[in-house]
Structure 1
């Protein structure tokens, strides 16, 4: 398949590009410098079998123009409607769209985002469903791994490991008992590729996570074990955009995509730490 990747220079987009090649597909990158909505980009889109939207100008800490980004998304999809693309995938956020409702969260649960970032992703899901009914919406939760930078208040492991490399104490925000769902980047991109390859994924909304919660305190213990260092974090109050839980049910991913996560936290964090140390 010839698959366009909007956000090809991002954490997920860049890892996916390499994985698509390994899986025998042809990735077509779209970036800020080469947007899919440019005259050239729209011409290229007509030759695509599938298209992934993994771009975002916002993170949980920086979102401030949610309506603008959602409007750009809507106008972009309107421009692409006559492209002939058979499969469209939108990367949402399983870590924010469910809000603080009872966990684990299933795809049929009502969306109650409490952060502006979660509200943005929920609104973009609505646009995708309205303009592209056959779209596949993926809701990954706290994707981590090699290649993830510490920026925008997103990705606790990216920030923690970078702090350790810099000889600084990592910051633990909020209650250390708060548990979240973490999924390794290689597992995430496998799910994306499966969603393109499986016809049954069309029109579906699918959670992508580990299927189990890990508290911040447990996560810190794993980081200590993997890095072999004594770590004394700095404790700070929780931030207004932090969810209390992001534990996802992943039965639908197994049933529709034939997908289950393969990388446990110890191995995933070890690979991420090796990458951080080697930079």
Structure 2
């Protein structure tokens, strides 16, 4: 199968690329390289430097490469950026997704979309949250992802396609930038290695569902191998508080970490975990990596000052 991965030079996208290559597929990457890095990409994948906001350039690449499946991961990923610039977030995460759907329609490709589970459900829903809960996002980022999901459903109804969405929990793993604005596991590991205190926004009691990037990559391969239209949560169903995560990072570092506290940030929910029974039943997918094991992989990767493709699982 020929698979196109938008955002394939990114943290998650490069692991998704690796998973398809390991399964024997031909992989084409579309990435504007604004955040993605060529060093993350397996040399056997073909990279086109085009962004999803470039509708004509995107369609041209898709029509020339004619993929059977498009895994759509290119996005604006920072909740805080979306709060500060909601129109810019919508231009990428909503309009960019429509551009992908139109390009896919031109060649009859199926789209598997990377949505969000951590930012889409909002407050006041049962935790772990199931796909049947009505989303109530509390930031433009989650709102844009939900809107993009609605476009997938609309195309399925209008054109008889079988596009699908994976609502990802908080994904972590090697290749995530430890100096970036997103990705708390990598940030905490990086600060621990530098002898710095982890910075906690709020009281540290807020919870997230942390899922290892290798497990997420396998979810994309599994979803791509089906012809089902649907929405599936991809997580672990387990809540881990920020303070609990600091303890896990401290064990990987071999010392106790003393957090520094700062005011809570707007637009972030207090509790989040995803119910994954539907993905298990319909896709046969289950996360397999324990948090402690995954965090150790991240710590080792940063500690070794590895290149983007070094020490990855």
User: TM class by shorter-chain length?
Assistant: over 0.9
Matched, 1:186 2:186: no
Report the equivalent of 1:34. 50
Does the aligned pair in 2 maintain the 1:188–1:208 contact within 8 Å? yes
How many angstroms apart in 1 are the aligned matches of 2:100 and 2:241? 38
Higher mean alpha-carbon deviation, 263-272 vs 168-177, is at 168-177
How many angstroms apart in 1 are the aligned matches of 2:111 and 2:62? 15
Deviation at 1:31, TM superposition (A): 1.1
Q: 1:46-75: CA deviations, max 9, x gaps?
A: x21111110013411222123322223223
How many angstroms apart in 1 are the aligned matches of 2:67 and 2:99? 19
How many angstroms apart in 1 are the aligned matches of 2:122 and 2:26? 36
Report the equivalent of 1:24. 24
Report the equivalent of 1:49. 68
Report the equivalent of 2:311. none
SS, match of residue 259 in structure 1: coil
Q: 1:183-218: CA deviations, max 9, x gaps?
A: 00111111110001123xx21100000121111121
Matched, 1:265 2:281: no
Deviation at 1:137, TM superposition (A): 0.5
Q: 1:14-60: CA deviations, max 9, x gaps?
A: 11111111112221111112347416403234x21111110013411
TM-score between both structures, scaled by the size of structure 2: 0.83
Number of aligned pairs? Answer: 275
Deviation at 1:76, TM superposition (A): 3.7
SS, match of residue 139 in structure 1: strand
Matched, 1:197 2:225: yes
SS, match of residue 76 in structure 2: coil
Matched, 1:129 2:149: no
Gaps of 5+ in 1: none
Q: RMSD of aligned C-alpha atoms?
A: 1.7
Report the equivalent of 1:227. 253
- Could you say if the C-alpha distance between residues 237 and 224 of structure 1 is closer, same or farther in structure 2, counting changes exceeding 3 Å? same
Matched, 1:171 2:199: yes
TM-score between both structures, scaled by the size of structure 1: 0.93
Report the equivalent of 2:303. 277
Report the equivalent of 1:155. 183
Does the aligned pair in 2 maintain the 1:59–1:152 contact within 8 Å? no
Report the equivalent of 2:167. 139
Report the equivalent of 2:107. 83
